[in-house]
Structure 1
Amino acid sequence: MAREILRRSSGRAAFSRRTMSSSVAFPRPYTFHMGASWAGKVNGLSGVPNNPFPVDSAVGAWRDHMLARPKAANGKDPGQDFFYVQDMRNQSRLCIEGVSFGVADGVGGWLECGVDPSLFSQALMFHAHRYARNAWAGEPEIDPTLDYEEREEIEGWEMTPYECLDLAYGGVLREKFVQAGSSTACLITMNASSGVLRSANLGDSGYMIIRSNTILHRQPSQTHYFNCPKQLTKLPVNKGQRFPRACVDSPSEADTFRTKLGDGDIVIAYTDGLSDNVFSSEIVTICSLVSRHGGTEDQIVQAIADRLVDYARQCMKSKTRVSPFEREAARQGMFFRGGKPDDVTVVVGLVRETS
């Protein structure tokens, strides 16, 4: 079921960059182990992109690099979804300051207009990764034992997920290969010094934080109405083309959140291919079962991501099992039975305290 798109006004949000000073790499008390998995719609419903980014382009080369990540879940094509995982480092590259990651879901309603929705989501994640890699996950430390003159100014700035989203959206608007399209987005940073998580979410992608088999936080989805999420949009330059249902939401409308993480917390970012087919309690159960099997932290997070994707795809195929999407449709007075075929993308992070 293709989600609908709806016209609204938009406004870009402004922010200021801040450069900080530091010359010493301090040990970081938090480490983050990351895994990612993805699959296009079941039964090959995603189709082949009409005009994908060339493999020798910046976005195309990065896309193929991300898709080369090892995973065990069935399905190689992410469909209209995409994601990124990016370490955030200081200029000296001596240590990792944190990690930035996110997911995006290209809105399928554009297919009716001959637009490939995957181009927008891929470009959005590419530009988010590009800005995040040279930014701080939080305010960098300044060695108090150094004199002011000894403090070396570094490149980069403290950047929130909201600021990253705003920058990435601007990058897509300038991307000539993306003529039109729209996408939801969920961006997250985790700070290796403070353990602070910050997020920005626009639309019905989202994330949850699981602590000791309990959901500590689940990001609410943003929709205009049922099956029509808030979305960042690029309208075509050709004024003769009419898109009466096209939506143009602003990054300033994204919900932001901040919390302190602890040892053993699991953070799961996902597109609605997961949340429309798998209940929250089932996600918690899968995390618990996979963790009991043991293995290294990296193996555990990858196994959780793969298991969630495979289970979501199983649920999509069932017309007898009640799905979260079916329940929400019933609340809106609509009839829908079973799982909802869709692309599904999952990024999983495991938090460890090292000191």
Structure 2
Amino acid sequence: MLCLRQRPIPSVVGHMSRSYSLQRPYKFHVAAEWTGKPPHPENIPKPKVSFSANSPIVSWRDSSLSRLSSLHPPLSAGEDFFLCTNMLHNSGVSLGIADGVGGWIDQGIDSSMFSQALMYYAHGHFENGWAGEPEIDPTLEAPVEASPEGVEMTPSECLDLAYHDVLGDESIEAGSSTACLLTLNSATGVLRSVNLGDSGFCVIRSSSMFYNARPQTHGFNTPKQLAKLQSARGRNFGSRGSLRDMPRVAETWDTRVRDGDIVILYTDGLSDNVFPAEMLKICSLTMSGPGSEMEQVQAIAGHLVQYARRCMFSSKLSPFELDARRYKQRYQGGKVDDVTVVVALVRETQ
């Protein structure tokens, strides 16, 4: 069951929230918030090539962005994109985040197309799959040999399927993206994840960082990434040294969540500008404040994005600056980038 709530939002931040109320032992309040990086006067204009107006990817993307946004048209997520959806028969929820890797613009490629398409295809597979093994409702009269509808869809399988869908989509000539997908099982409370690149997720438990996915990179500011280097028209984009990692090298992780756990997915626009200790403080202060749990989850997402935006224009020490030092690079302050955050609060109902 999907319940939606709308409220006014600041003009610089996109907004989407959902409360998944499932008749199972676990339910999840989920919210997403995002902001594209501001244009720089010296930046090259974005390429005009994009999806056709009647593309199903465009329809899904615009619906995802505008569902709860007070902006008309809704704010773009830049080169980031995300997904939040119920899985088959309310067996769980799936969350995802992707960050289109830059550097394609001089080849006439819009980096946002790959990340949007990857999330679109992943959304379709998750929506038609179970969060765990398919269940048979014991209250229904059915023959013993009857098998339940649908199949189990793990994050790893979904990533592999969605990536191959992107490779076969002729509207996407080339591009690359990081990817982070996870499922939360509403019957067992099992979280399963797959992560490739420097987007990621964390699990906050009892105001402490229970888990924080480590970034996967080839070097400073060079994440591992899924890529499409050969277009349907025969153009080869791999000759320029473009990187291409396969879904099988992505890191997987699973755990059983507990009541009160907070799961946060993020692109590197957050993790390059906000330290884990700052994330913990924002979550703690927000959850101790007023409002319903759904309002608090939405507030966490909003506060994280807004704080990351402030930090990227600050000269204060940032995680990105520390990473630059490790690679003997000179850099000071925050990193200007798109920021997208998806937050889920776990509640046990039984």
1:115 corresponds, among 101, 109, 119, to 109
User: Tell me, which stretches of 5 or more residues in structure 1 are unaligned?
Assistant: 1-25, 91-95
1:172-201 per-position Cα deviation (integer Å, ceiling 9, x unaligned): 011111000000000010000000000000
1:246-295 per-position Cα deviation (integer Å, ceiling 9, x unaligned): 11110000100000000110000000000000000001111111112232
Alpha-carbon contact 2:229-2:238 (below 8 Å) kept: no
Once structures 1 and 2 are overlaid, which stretch shifts more, 329-338 or 138-147?
Answer: 138-147
Q: Tell me if 1:161 matches 2:155.
A: yes
Note the 1:1-355 alignment, pairs <5 A: 27-43=23-39, 50-70=48-68, 76-90=75-89, 96-142=90-136, 149-150=143-144, 152-237=146-231, 238-239=234-235, 243-318=239-314, 320-355=315-350
Alpha-carbon contact 1:137-1:191 (below 8 Å) kept: yes
SS of equivalent residue, structure 1 residue 109: coil
Q: Name the structure 2 match of 1:13.
A: none
Q: Name the structure 2 match of 1:16.
A: none
Distance in 2 (alpha carbons) for counterparts of 1:181 and 1:120: 6
Alpha-carbon contact 1:115-1:180 (below 8 Å) kept: yes
Q: State percent identity of aligned pairs.
A: 52
Once structures 1 and 2 are overlaid, which stretch shifts more, 137-146 or 307-316?
Answer: 137-146
Alpha-carbon contact 1:37-1:346 (below 8 Å) kept: yes
SS of equivalent residue, structure 1 residue 264: coil
Alpha-carbon contact 2:264-2:342 (below 8 Å) kept: yes
1:24-43 per-position Cα deviation (integer Å, ceiling 9, x unaligned): xx941000010001111134
Distance in 1 (alpha carbons) for counterparts of 2:138 and 2:53: 47
Alpha-carbon contact 1:42-1:316 (below 8 Å) kept: no
User: Tell me, which stretches of 5 or more residues in structure 2 are unaligned?
Assistant: 1-21
Alpha-carbon contact 2:114-2:176 (below 8 Å) kept: yes
What letter corresponds to residue 98 of structure 2 in structure 1? A
Displacement of 1:302 after TM fit? 1.1
Distance in 2 (alpha carbons) for counterparts of 1:133 and 1:160: 12
Pair 67,145 (structure 1): closer, same or farther in 2 beyond 3 Å: closer
Q: CA RMSD in A?
A: 2.1
Alpha-carbon contact 2:196-2:225 (below 8 Å) kept: yes
Displacement of 1:327 after TM fit? 0.5
Runs of 4+ in structure 1 displaced over 6 angstroms?
144-148
Displacement of 1:139 after TM fit? 1.3
